[in-house]
Amino acid sequence: MALYIQHGHGKSDKIRTALDDGTIEGVVFAARNEKKDNLRACVNEIREGYDGCEMLLDPQFYVSTLTPPNDRYLPEYPYYEAGRTASDFTGVRRIRHYAKETLDYQVDLGLDSLVSPTVIFDSFSDRWHQIALNLADASLERRAELTDPPPLLLSFVFKEEALAATEEVNRFLDTVTQDGWNMKGFYLIVARSERSYNQRFEPSRLAQYLYVVYVLGQINGLRVVCGYTDFVGILLRAVGADAFASGWNQSLRQFQRSNFIQRRPGGQRPRERYSSSPLFNSILLSQLQDIYEVGHLGDVLSGVPLDSQITGASDPLAAGWTTPLSQQHHWQTLHALDESLSGRVRPDLQSTVQKLRDANGLYTLLEAAGVQFEQNTGRDHLREWPRAIGEFQRMAGLASP
């Protein structure tokens, strides 16, 4: 278990291609982006053609509480109803009904694990957090009523800012690891505060996220699947996550609440990118061209099969680098980074910190040679992530004496 595709709109042959290449081990389907009948057909196709691929469904029940929801195909699903408010979650009977509808649909679909319904909460002490706990508890009860059901992952979606409250996070961890909660693990999503696609993550919040995954996965021996994680998924894997998911476009690589709320259509087409493991970042193809022109192309290549598209051309801009190629290359890069991990927390963190230092040094070299990076393709994260790792190590008692 390691890298999963975060499924979204316009899948075409993306999932099959990544499975054929061996760069992913699972799929987290999104109900919002697939018609109900099409989803069943896709699940059956993968089950028949790709033995060992784990399939989960993010039921995206949480979209029902957003206004106005960008829910696409969700109204086709039996457990979904738009416009739910906090009052719709009063009473045990209602909570149990939501859990039953959501889990029963997944059982019928024949998935490998069940994912509980949940709601988005802003802090580990607000009303919506309690509703999320109630839905988790009801999901545990419903699974216990089923005959030979798949394992259950309890789902929680919370704002990045919630990670700033250390005592509240610790109480949450105490609650979900208490005796009697007979689940297999967790499916976690952090709703990012950054509106643009980049690798920045405020250090103390990232440290707390790493600690949550470490306590659940490493200390308690539970499965932790982290959705919408992108490059930061490598850090999460290093501290004990069983798998991390990243999608084919930028909105499927990092979770933002605004993507699930209706807005006016439009916007610019995303510029083509290249995912560089030596830089631990996804840079623009035009920047890769600049790097080539100053003689440092080999320093930033990820060393994955699709690099041949770049190296076989006269220069990066002449490589015919398309969006589908960029998407598949991104997964190859994440897969290669994940493959370099040993499964032991201390050495994996040490090696990751060294890679981040090397990446920072490479940015310095490239900038000195005249390559210019934009804010969202620059190296801010290479200053933030090592600080987060150091803070996490102190929290977990893993810091060097």
pLDDT digits (tens, 9 = 90+) for 138-164: 999 999 999 999 999 999 999 999 999
* Separation of alpha carbons 102 and 155, rounded Å: 12
What is the distance between the terminal CA atoms of the chain, rounded to a whole angstrom? 33
* Separation of alpha carbons 197 and 218, rounded Å: 29
Q: What burial letters (b/e) apply to 128-166, b meaning 16+ CB within 10 Å?
A: bbebbbbbbbbbbebbeeeeebbebbbbbbbbbebbeee
Tell me if residue 213 falls in helix, strand or coil: helix
Q: Are 37 and 254 in contact (CB under 8 A)?
A: no
Q: Which residues pair with 380 in a beta bridge?
A: none
Q: What pLDDT does 269 receive?
A: 74
* Separation of alpha carbons 290 and 202, rounded Å: 29
- The class level of CATH for 3-260 reads alpha beta
Q: What pLDDT does 267 receive?
A: 60
Q: What pLDDT does 384 receive?
A: 97
Positions of the chain with pLDDT under 50: none
* Separation of alpha carbons 23 and 5, rounded Å: 10
* Separation of alpha carbons 32 and 29, rounded Å: 9
Q: Check: pTM over 0.85? Answer yes or no.
A: yes
Listed in order, the ranges of the chain carrying CATH 3.20.20.300 are 3-260
Residue the block writes with tokens 């109803």: 81
Q: What pLDDT does 280 receive?
A: 98
Q: What pLDDT does 225 receive?
A: 98
Here the tokens at position 169 are 């996070």
* Separation of alpha carbons 236 and 244, rounded Å: 8
8-state DSSP, 69: B
Q: What pLDDT does 10 receive?
A: 87
Here the tokens at position 335 are 């897969």
